[in-house]
Every structure is written in structure tokens, then in C-alpha cells.
């Protein structure tokens, strides 16, 4: 049961253009969402997060949009740079307490390649 899905396994973008990475979720209890960037043989690096009380959060070149009714979030990177090439994971957690508190559920990841 894949509660967090990233349906695009890969994305290729030209340097300077916008990269849009998408993520869908099914569990309505999720109320906190994060994006991580990961290089091979390294741990994920936190990029940006958003709480369910917001629909947008921006940090420099990174913006995360949340559409709760559609259970969809996206990460926009603009302008894209070759150094952004990595695997991007979206993750979700529920803060309603109980045994699932704080646990992250990850999507499958999207490989972003930014061409010079």
C-alpha cells in the first residue's frame, strides 16, 4: 500500500528552466510534508517542508505547493542548476499522535537531471 507516490521516476530539465516534481498521497491523516534531496550512497538532505495549514512555502529557489483537496504536492525549483541533479523524495507524516506520530512515509523518488 503505497501511501505516498511519485509517479515520475525521472525528469530531465535544461539549466535555467523550472523543474517541477510531483507527489500524491492517499492518507488524509498526513498533515506535514517534506522534500528531501539524495545523492547515491548518502543520506537524504532536507530541502523544504510545508504544514497542511498552508498551501505554499518558499525558500530561495525552492517552492512547495500543497493542494489538500487533491492530496497533491509539488516542488518547484527555479532556476534549475546542474548541481540540483539528484534523487528527490517527498515524505509525509501525521502529527495527530498515536504510534504513527512523527514517522515519515516516503515516495519512491524522482531522478532529476539538469542539463547545462
Q: Which one, 74 or 100, has the nearer CB to another protein? A: 100
| Minimum gap (Å) between residue 17 Cβ and another protein | 26
Q: Which one, 41 or 70, has the nearer CB to another protein? A: 41
In order, the DSSP letters of 71-84 are TEEEEEESS--GGG
Q: Which one, 83 or 98, has the nearer CB to another protein? A: 98
| Minimum gap (Å) between residue 108 Cβ and another protein | 5
Enumerate binding residues for another protein (CB under 8 A).
32, 34, 36, 41-46, 49, 89, 93, 95, 99, 102-109
* Rounded distance between C-alpha atoms, residue 72 and residue 55, angstroms: 10
- Asked if 110 and 86 touch (Cβ cutoff 8 Å), the reply is no
* Rounded distance between C-alpha atoms, residue 39 and residue 22, angstroms: 19
Q: How many CA atoms lie within 13 A of 24 on its CB side?
A: 8
| Minimum gap (Å) between residue 46 Cβ and another protein | 6
Amino acid at each position: 500500500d503505497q501511501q505516498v507516490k511519485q509517479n515520475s521516476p525521472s525528469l530531465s530539465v535544461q539549466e535555467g528552466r523550472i523543474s517541477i516534481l510531483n507527489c500524491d498521497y492517499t492518507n488524509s491523516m498526513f498533515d506535514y510534508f517534506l522534500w528531501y534531496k539524495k545523492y547515491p550512497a548518502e543520506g537524504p538532505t532536507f530541502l523544504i517542508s510545508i504544514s497542511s495549514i498552508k498551501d505554499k512555502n518558499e525558500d530561495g529557489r525552492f517552492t512547495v505547493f500543497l493542494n489538500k483537496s487533491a492530496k497533491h504536492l509539488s516542488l518547484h525549483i527555479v532556476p534549475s542548476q546542474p548541481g540540483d541533479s539528484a534523487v528527490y523524495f517527498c515524505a509525509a507524516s501525521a502529527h495527530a499522535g498515536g504510534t504513527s506520530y512523527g514517522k515519515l512515509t516516503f515516495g519512491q523518488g524522482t531522478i532529476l537531471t539538469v542539463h547545462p
